[in-house]
């Protein structure tokens, strides 16, 4: 058997690279400063819980698969270090796992990731409401097909590179569908309930001590 720990991602502003400040300002405008700050605190707490989970495991030899990771080796490590320097807790956890003997694996196809990033960048940098709406519509029309292609690629990479008896960790957006595409001999363990992370995206949820509760003020 092969084993795969699945971590559904809650993105922080720091995960968005050069788009972080633009998306942060948009979120504050839509949600309001207080709610946006509280949501950022909740996401930070979520990642603290994930870090605590892996702190007690012997991760030497674990293979690390990351949403958006288009390289491994020296290039992959450079991407991780850049994310850490920008304050990404997701990448911070990966950095510590690598220091403890885990192995970073190229997870995604560069061309597909660039296509998705282009749509998000166009929306974030739109100079008018109309331009933003046009790019948002184009993105919605393309998103389903892009997501399927990315999921197919990620699942194939996992199936092909996670060997018999090995353990992996997949950090992946909650709306990806990787599990159904994995080989039947891969045992999947959800570090956080994917359905709960999706629920967080849809409504008022706050993370506390590794669990979630509804919070009408969130």
Query: Does the pLDDT value for residue 33 go beyond 80?
Result: no
Tell me the pTM: 0.82
Sequence-ordered list of residues with C-beta below 8 angstroms from that of 88, at least 6 positions apart, any chain: 12, 14, 15
> For position 34, what pLDDT does the model report?
67
Query: Does the pLDDT value for residue 14 go beyond 80?
Result: no
Query: Does the pLDDT value for residue 54 go beyond 80?
Result: yes
End-to-end Cα spacing for the chain: 41
Query: Does the pLDDT value for residue 209 go beyond 80?
Result: no
Task: List the beta strands (DSSP E) in the chain.
Answer: 2-9, 63-66, 103-104, 167-173, 186-190, 205-208, 211-214
């Amino acid at each position: 058997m092969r084993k795969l720990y699945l971590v559904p991602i809650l993105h922080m502003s720091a995960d968005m690279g050069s788009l972080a400040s633009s998306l942060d300002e948009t979120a504050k405008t839509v949600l309001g400063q207080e709610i946006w700050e509280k949501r950022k605190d909740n996401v930070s707490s979520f990642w603290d819980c994930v870090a605590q989970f892996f702190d007690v495991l012997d991760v030497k030899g674990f293979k690390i698969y990351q949403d958006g990771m288009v390289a491994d080796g020296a290039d992959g490590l450079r991407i991780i270090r850049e994310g850490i320097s920008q304050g990404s807790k997701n990448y911070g956890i990966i950095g510590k796992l690598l220091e403890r003997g885990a192995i970073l694996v190229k997870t995604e196809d560069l061309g597909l990731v660039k296509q998705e990033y282009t749509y998000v960048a166009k929306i974030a940098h739109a100079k008018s409401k109309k331009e933003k709406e046009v790019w948002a519509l184009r993105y919605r029309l393309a998103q389903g097909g892009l997501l399927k292609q990315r999921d197919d690629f990620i699942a194939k990479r996992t199936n092909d590179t996670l060997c018999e008896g090995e353990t992996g960790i997949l950090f992946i957006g909650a709306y990806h569908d990787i599990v159904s595409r994995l080989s039947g001999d891969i045992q999947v363990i959800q570090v956080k309930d994917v359905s709960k992370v999706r629920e967080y995206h849809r409504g008022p949820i706050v993370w506390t001590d590794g669990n979630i509760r509804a919070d009408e003020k969130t």
